[in-house]
Structure 1
Amino acid sequence: MMLTCYAVDDEPLALQTVCEFIAQTPGLTLAGKFSSALQVLRALQQAEQPVDVLFLDIQMPNLNGLELARVLASRGGAPGPRVVFTTAYSQFALESYQVEALDYLVKPFDYEDFLRAVHKAQAYYQLLRRPVPAPPPATPPAAPAGDYLYVKADYQLVRVVLDDITLIEGLDDYASIHRRSDARPLLTLTTLKALEEKLPAQRFMRVHRSYIVGLNHISSVGRGTIQIGEQSIPVSERYRAAFDAYLDRWR
């Protein structure tokens, strides 16, 4: 997977370092380097191809990095590039979380720190671009009052009906919620563990470090696998005993 990047920093040496890191990292393409956030806004408006990641300094004149991230988040249409902040100041970390930055690197950071942020970006886009299996043809039942949860996706809170959830797939800090009513998975900046704690245990079960399944949507059970629609989900050894105990109640 190739990700297109912009490097943005008003300090020439810091900008050069980020550009060199991008150049030596497989899977990254440097599409532009800029010394101000205003230049980035103009470049994004004129770009012929989408930009995936901004390596973005915070303290810059006229428009700082956090302000740029908020501007990009408020724009309508397709989601904009994801942000990795590169800054000499640690006190903006909380604000970076509020604009859903992928990572927050404090200068001087080394290549290992940079590569960790790249892996987060690659994991995010791998999950986002994964082909979606066709859902089973069905209409989700109406949900009783309170039978839903809210998740944060695309800079907004999205209401998800519990009975509509067939399975949830986790990847690092993200979760992909698969629903009967929509072929597209809902990608949210939430860990699988956090979602597991919110879901009712009598209707959802963790069967693998990367999967939670909706028990009512299981169509068949094989040797070490669960079938939901056209998707086969592995059951790992860690969760097998609990899943077998669930099956024993219905045998």
Structure 2
Amino acid sequence: MRLSCVAIDDEPLALDLVVKFVEQTSFLNLVGKFTSAVEALSFINANDVQLVIMDIQMPDLSGMELARVLDGKKDSSNTRIIFATAYNQFAIEGYKVEALDYLLKPYSYEDFLNAVTKALNYFEKTSEVSTKQPNQAKDPDYIFLKVEYQLVKVMLADITHVEAYKDYVKVHLESKASPLLSLMSLKSMEELLPSNKFMRVHRSYIISLDHIDSVSKNVVNIGKNSITVGENYKEGFLDFMSRWMN
């Protein structure tokens, strides 16, 4: 799936950065860029735009005002918003208009990619629900990771566990002898992975529940790897185990 998106920012340099990040992202299709929210609104009303990435403080019509207009449309679920702003005081307002994410300038490509991946997951779920019965809908079965200078599609079923490594994560795959190394935090990775399939069991580890081979005391065994369940994560893991064994 590719998402049609527009970028809106009255600062040319900030707008150029969004455009650059969009062009780096394979599942985004930039259909318009604007320095005016008023002009952008006319374009959005006349075209199929799924994702709007925009600043908040702009002349004539602010990003928050535009978001309220879009949120009031009958088909508002067809257009989602990611704010990119230098002001954190608007975060609560952003949640009120159901923005998918709130990027605080200056932000990295990793931050941007995490935000737009949420949008991709949202529209994939929406598409599945609209074409299937509710009990047939399922979560996306892959994620995109930035590995060196490219985006790599990784199937969730292939991930055995994820390990924190300095400013990176090591994503261990069943299909590869060596892990993928991606520049992101373990917390960001945790947010990308579906909670019904993956669980954080240690400050340095996330495990795939489907790949657990055995459990002994506070140790999870996945293939040749033995991963200790951290003290802060024992309660959640024991709850999972109690449901798994019933």
Same fold (TM over 0.5): yes
In structure 2, distance between residues paired with 1:210 and 1:239: 10
Q: CA deviation at 1:13?
A: 0.4
In structure 1, distance between residues paired with 2:120 and 2:137: 19
> Any residues of structure 2 matched to 1:43-122 within 5 Å, and which?
43-47=43-47, 50-77=48-75, 79-122=77-120
Contact 2:125 2:137 in 1 (8 A): no
Contact 1:169 1:210 in 2 (8 A): no
SS in 1 for 2:128: coil
Q: Per-residue displacement from partner, 1:16-58 (whole Å, max 9, x unpaired)?
A: 01001100111110000000110111101222xx211100100
In structure 1, distance between residues paired with 2:137 and 2:45: 35
Q: CA deviation at 1:167?
A: 9.3
Contact 1:6 1:53 in 2 (8 A): yes
Alignment equivalent of 1:124, drawn from 122, 131, 141: 122
Contact 2:85 2:105 in 1 (8 A): yes
SS in 1 for 2:89: coil
Q: CA deviation at 1:129?
A: 1.0
In structure 2, stretches of 5+ residues that fail to align are 141-193, 198-209, 211-237
Contact 2:82 2:100 in 1 (8 A): yes
Q: Indicate the percent of aligned positions where both proteins have the same amino acid.
A: 44
Match status 1:32 vs 2:18: no
In structure 1, distance between residues paired with 2:102 and 2:137: 27
In structure 2, distance between residues paired with 1:120 and 1:87: 18
- Number of aligned positions between the proteins: 154
SS in 1 for 2:38: helix
Contact 1:73 1:80 in 2 (8 A): no
- Tell me: CA distance 1:16–1:121, structure 2 relative to 1, closer, same or farther (3 Å): same
Q: 1:109 corresponds to which letter in structure 2?
A: Y
Task: Name whichever structure is richer in helix by fraction.
Answer: 2
Q: 1:210 corresponds to which letter in structure 2?
A: N
Q: CA deviation at 1:110?
A: 1.2
Contact 1:170 1:210 in 2 (8 A): no
In structure 2, distance between residues paired with 1:16 and 1:209: 35
Q: CA deviation at 1:120?
A: 0.7
| TM-score normalised to structure 2 length | 0.56
2:182 equivalent in structure 1: none
- Tell me: CA distance 1:134–1:59, structure 2 relative to 1, closer, same or farther (3 Å): closer
Q: 2:17 corresponds to which letter in structure 1?
A: T
2:196 equivalent in structure 1: 210
In structure 1, stretches of 5+ residues that fail to align are 136-165, 172-207, 212-223, 225-236, 246-251
1:242 equivalent in structure 2: 243
In structure 1, distance between residues paired with 2:34 and 2:112: 18
SS in 2 for 1:41: helix
